[in-house]
Amino acid sequence: MRKVAKRLLRKVHLDGFAMRLILKSAQIKRRFAGRSDSTIIESYFAKREITRLHIGCGGSLLEGWLNSDIAPYSGKVLQLDATRMFPFANGTFDYIFSEHMIEHISYVSGCAMLAECHRVLKKNGKIRISTPDLRFLIDLYGDSKSPLQKEYIKWATDSFIGAPYCDDTFVINNFVRDWGHLFIYDEKTLRSSLERAGFTTVVRCELNESQDDMLKNLEHEDRMPKGFLRLESMTLEATK
């Protein structure tokens, strides 16, 4: 029952009383587990020469990364509200990664998050952001659909919508408002946001691929049927 409740809570935009309730619950759970955020931070930095921050990890914990989330599912995860100032000094991390998180906060909050990422990265540190691509939705509406796009529309309709028939319009409408989505980026807008935050050398990468070994094989493709996360997503990397 608790797992079902967590999935439902992840599908809505949590603000006001609901968000405070979830954060309070996470704090109480961590207190009983004997772990505080300061303990998690101290333990992580005591063991790492290369420092890596994972923002919005959900249930996907990455080995060697400081995994964080606004409502942690585990006592091993740092509670971090990415829309506020991060609890780290300037130039703390070598790498930052975030997968399908930035679309769950407003554009203004997303820009604030990227500015904080820039602040806490070391010089020449790198950020990797994976997020749904607006172009994916535009292409999904086109007349000439690939077999994968057709499969995606059927899967999305059957899994999340319950519409009377499969149609791209239902899927697109649902995508932009479900799961707490607040802003769907296209490449030019995310690239511009990174550059405005101070990043340079913004490059687009394939899912789970990178010129930097530390940024390879990070996205959690297995959480969706084969090919679907790749269809939805764009990934940009940038350097401080």
Instruction: List, as one string, the DSSP characters of 67-114.
Output: EEESS-SSTTSEE--TTS--SS-TT-EEEEEEES-GGGS-HHHHHHHH
Q: How far is residue 171's CA from residue 163's CA, in Å, rounded to a whole number?
A: 9
* Least reliable range by pLDDT among 28-42, 60-74, 181-195, 207-221: 28-42
pLDDT in tens, 99-131: 999 999 999 999 999 999 999 999 999 999 999
User: The domain 2-132+184-220+234-239: what is its CATH number?
Assistant: 3.40.50
Q: For all residues of the chain together, what is the average pLDDT?
A: 89
Given this model, what pLDDT does residue 163 score? Answer: 87
pLDDT of residue 11: 39
Cβ atoms of 117 and 127 closer than 8 Å: yes
Answer yes or no: are the C-beta atoms of 117 and 224 closer than 8 Å. Answer: no
Task: Tell me what pLDDT residue 23 has.
Answer: 55
For the residues 83-94, what does the mean pLDDT come to? 97
Query: 42 with 86: CB under 8 angstroms?
Result: no
Please identify which residue in the block is written with the tokens 């340079």.
200
Is residue 133 very low, low, confident or very high in pLDDT (cuts 50, 70, 90)? very high
What are the pLDDT digits (tens) for 134-188? 999 999 999 999 999 999 999 999 999 988 999 999 999 999 999 999 999 999 9
- The pTM of the full predicted model, rounded to 2 decimals, is 0.86
Q: Is the pLDDT of residue 14 over 50?
A: no
Answer yes or no: is pLDDT of 4 > 50.
no
| Better pLDDT: 3 or 15 | 15
Is the per-residue pLDDT at 91 higher than 90? yes
Number of H helices, E strands in the chain: 9, 7
Give 209's Cβ-side CA count (13 Å radius).
8
Percent of the chain with pLDDT over 90: 82
Using the Cα atoms of residue 206, residue 88, residue 80 and residue 17 in order, give the sign of their dihedral.
Answer: negative
User: Percent of the chain, pLDDT > 70?
Assistant: 85
Residue 211: beta bridge partners? none
The amino acid sitting at 73 is Y
> Measured at the alpha carbon of residue 126, what is the angle toward residues 122 and 130, in degrees to the nearest 5?
140
CA 130 to chain centre: 7
Degrees to nearest 5, angle at CA 116 with 112 and 119: 140
What tokens were used for 41?
A: 């931070």
Amino acid 13: pLDDT: 39
8 pLDDT higher than 70: no
Tell whether the model's pLDDT for residue 22 goes beyond 90.
no
Q: What are phi and psi of 234, to 5 degrees?
A: -125, 150
Q: Is the pLDDT of residue 50 over 90?
A: yes
Report the alpha-carbon distance of residue 112 to residue 82 in Å, rounded.
8
Confidence at 224, pLDDT banded by 50, 70, 90:
very high
